[in-house]
Amino acid sequence: MDLIPGYPNLALYLDEALLVVNKPAGLPTLVDGYHPDAPYLVGLLGEAYGRIWVVHRLDKDTSGVIAFARSELAHKELNTQFEQRQASKVYHALVIGQPDWDEKSIDLPLRPDGDRRHRTVIDHQMGKPAITRLRVLEGYGAFAMVEAIPLTGRTHQIRAHLAACGHPLVADRLYSRSGDTHSGSTPGTEPIQRLGLHARSLTLHHPLTDQIQSFEAPYPQDFSGALEQLRQSHKPE
């Protein structure tokens, strides 16, 4: 199913109704208004597989699993699932600092495009409800791997919620604050030089059969390399 030159192993699943791919970091989901001639995921997939319909999105620098519909009927069904929170997404996040909790649920309302930098901000008056469940998977001293499960689908939800609890994503220049900086987390010394976020898995009902299906996206090389580097440097003596 490798039909796109330069982007091998994209497709995780393909049938007449559903296309699931492992999006590379650095490739926007939709056309970039500032760089309309640059490659983008929907355009590449459309050339390779025919018309597709967007169901949800990932940030340009986020890697991992993303699903598309291949018919109007499938698009309608999948949209309903995402709107009604029937689809479940799991992210793996490399964050700055070592959380002092093992599990945490963040319930903070979010408002997109809420400041001069066009960030999603915490807003208790005008924000929309947003809940993210967090669980520490591994610790590496100045960094940690956290599982993040968004129960709502707000723009930049995971990035904003992690920053709000003092553990922004590695290499997140938009949401990191100077007060969040830990030893080893300055630009150029981070374990990964792009946003430390990977959409690890997606569970949904197949739009035609209604069968529950789960898809898992392997880590890309830069992400797995960062984990190996961190594990090697923090082996117990």
Burial class (CB in 10 A: 0-12, 13-18, 19+), 70: buried
Name the amino acid, one letter, at 50.
G
Statement: residue 8 has pLDDT above 80: no
**Across 14-28, 107-121, 182-196, least confident range:** 182-196
Average pLDDT score over the chain: 92
- On whether residue 3 sits in a domain, the answer given is no
Given a cut of 60, whether residue 41 has pLDDT beyond it is yes
The answer to whether residue 84 sits within a structural domain is: yes
Of 161, 177, 62, the residue nearest 120 (C-alpha): 161
Q: Is residue 48 part of a domain?
A: yes
Pairing of strands 11-14, 63-69: unpaired
Q: What is the pLDDT of residues 61-117, one digit of tens each?
A: 999 999 999 999 999 999 999 999 999 999 999 999 999 999 999 999 999 998 999
**Catalytic-labelled residue, pool 59, 61, 172, 222:** 59
Total number of domains constituting the chain:
1
What percent of the chain shows pLDDT beyond 90?
A: 84
Whether 59 is catalytic is: yes
Letter for the amino acid at 125? Q
CB 138 within 8 A of CB 145: yes
Q: What is the CATH number of the domain that holds 191?
A: 3.30.2350.10
Q: Which domain holds residue 173?
A: 11-233
- What are the DSSP calls for 185-203, one per residue? -STTTSS-SS--EEEEEEE
Angstrom distance (rounded) from CA 47 to CA 88: 28
Query: Does 4 reside within a domain?
Result: no
Residue type (1 letter), 163:
A
pLDDT over 60 (residue 178): no
64 in a structural domain = yes
Residue 184: band (very low, low, confident or very high) from pLDDT cuts 50, 70, 90 = very low
The pLDDT of residue 179 is 43
* Prediction pTM value: 0.92
Distance separating the N- and C-terminal Cα atoms of the chain: 45
Do the Cβ atoms of 83 and 204 come closer than 8 Å? no
Q: Residue 6 above 80 pLDDT?
A: no
138 belongs to a structural domain:
yes
Is residue 134 in some structural domain? yes
Beta bridge partners, 11, equal 21
How far apart CA 176 and CA 171 sit, in angstroms, is 8
Residue 49 vs residue 188, higher pLDDT: 49
